[in-house]
């Protein structure tokens, strides 16, 4: 195993908000990390601070206590250095699909012609070939999510944060999307932090899983998922998968 510091490490992070004149503790003493090219999932009940944690990691917020390390060094300037896809796809309705995908590289000041060529080459991988000129309103939910994910991956950040990207999709589409996401991740091999409410989804996708408690969120369990890759849907019916499921449900108090 590499002795290099992990690309992303969260140390003893706490965060509170003032709500209706009182303080609400969202996160308490959270520590976790993701190694290079690792797929790590965060799972916990609604309101446990998962999205808040991603906002802090990305630089959109600062913790009240604790520190975020990038390659072992305090990452005060995190904003713009980490790819982040929030829960909603946030496609701009007045821009065609390809122009929406290019928004990330455009904001980052990259060569747009080069980015456009690369995007066109990647459209088949993301299942979007032939829809370059479509407006978001004409696309299915799954296609919109793939477009948003392509925009995120095309920014070419070493660390990618995905906040429940499949949460609004139906069960069948969600199952298809998780297998597809592993294909995309295998292509790009970025360090990935993935938030989900779905226990099976977390097990199927991840190298490791952190289980968070109800608010104030803190880590109550860390699991290493020792299932072979590449993963196929049939692994969900295995006894090993079932054992991981029971362990996570127990950690969640379910």
Q: List C-alpha distances in Å: 139 to 47, 52, 196.
A: 30, 29, 23
Q: What residues are paired with 18 via a beta bridge? A: 23
Yes or no: say if 122 and 110 are a contact pair by the CB < 8 Å rule.
Answer: no
In tens, the pLDDT along 96-121 reads: 999 999 988 887 777 888 888 888 98
CA–CA separation, 65 vs 55, rounded Å? 15
Is residue 166 scored above 60 in pLDDT? yes
Q: Are 150 and 126 in contact (CB under 8 A)?
A: yes
Domain ranges for the chain, please list them: 8-82+157-251, 91-156
For the cut 80, the answer to whether the pLDDT of residue 169 exceeds it is no
CA-to-CA distance for 86 and 231, rounded, in angstroms?
A: 25
Amino acid 2: pLDDT? 58
The predicted pLDDT at position 109 comes to 76
Share above pLDDT 70 across residues of the chain, in percent, rounded to a whole number: 98
Under the banding of pLDDT at 50, 70 and 90, the label for residue 174 is: confident
Q: What angle, rounded to 10 degrees, do the helices at 141-154 and 112-122 form?
A: 130
Query: What does the pLDDT read at residue 245?
Result: 95
pLDDT at site 143: 87
C-alpha distance from residue 56 to each of 10, 53, 69, 75 (Å):
10, 5, 12, 11
Q: pLDDT per residue over 41-53, tens digit each? A: 999 998 899 999 9
Phi, psi of 149 (to 5 degrees): -65, -40
195 with 162: CB under 8 angstroms? yes
In percent, the amount of the chain with pLDDT more than 90 equals 50
Q: How confident is the model at residue 1 (pLDDT cuts 50, 70, 90)?
A: low
- 3-12 pLDDT, tens digit per residue, is 788 999 999 9
Decide if domain 8-82+157-251 falls under CATH 3.40.50.300. Answer: yes
Res. 170: pLDDT tops 80:
no
Q: pLDDT tens digits for 61-71?
A: 999 999 999 99
Residue 191 pLDDT > 80, yes or no? yes
Query: For the chain, how long is the longest CA-to-CA vector?
Result: 52
Query: How would you label 192-221 residue by residue, b for 16+ Cβ within 10 Å and e otherwise?
Result: bbbbbebbebbbbbbbbbbbbbebbbbbee
Q: Which residues contact 243 (CB under 8 A, 6 or more apart)?
A: none
> Residue 39 phi/psi, 5° resolution?
-105, 110
Q: Residue 164, preceding bond cis, omega within 30 degrees?
A: no
Average pLDDT across the chain, whole number: 89
* Polymer length of the chain: 254
């Amino acid at each position: 195993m590499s002795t290099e510091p992990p690309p992303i490490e969260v140390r003893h992070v706490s965060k509170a908000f003032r709500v209706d004149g009182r303080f609400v503790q969202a996160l308490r003493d959270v520590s976790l990390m993701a190694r290079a090219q690792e797929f790590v999932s965060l799972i916990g009940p609604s309101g446990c601070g998962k999205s808040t944690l991603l906002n802090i990691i990305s630089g959109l917020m600062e913790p009240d206590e604790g520190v975020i390390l990038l390659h072992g060094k305090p990452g005060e300037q995190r904003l713009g250095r980490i790819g982040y896809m929030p829960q909603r796809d946030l496609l701009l309705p007045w821009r065609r699909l390809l122009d929406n995908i290019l928004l990330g590289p455009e904001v980052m000041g990259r060569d747009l012609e080069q980015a456009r060529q690369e995007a066109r080459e990647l459209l088949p991988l993301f299942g979007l070939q032939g829809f370059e000129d479509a407006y978001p309103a004409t696309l299915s939910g799954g296609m919109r999510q793939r477009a948003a994910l392509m925009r995120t991956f095309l920014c070419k950040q070493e660390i990618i944060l995905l906040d429940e990207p499949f949460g609004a999709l139906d069960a069948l589409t969600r199952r298809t999307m998780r297998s597809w996401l592993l294909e995309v991740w295998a292509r790009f091999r970025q360090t990935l932090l993935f938030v989900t409410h779905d226990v099976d989804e977390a097990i199927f996708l991840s190298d490791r899983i952190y289980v968070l408690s109800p608010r104030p969120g803190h880590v109550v369990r860390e699991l290493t998922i020792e299932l072979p890759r590449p993963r196929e849907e049939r692994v969900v019916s295995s006894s090993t998968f079932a054992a991981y499921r029971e362990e996570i449900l127990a950690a969640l108090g379910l």
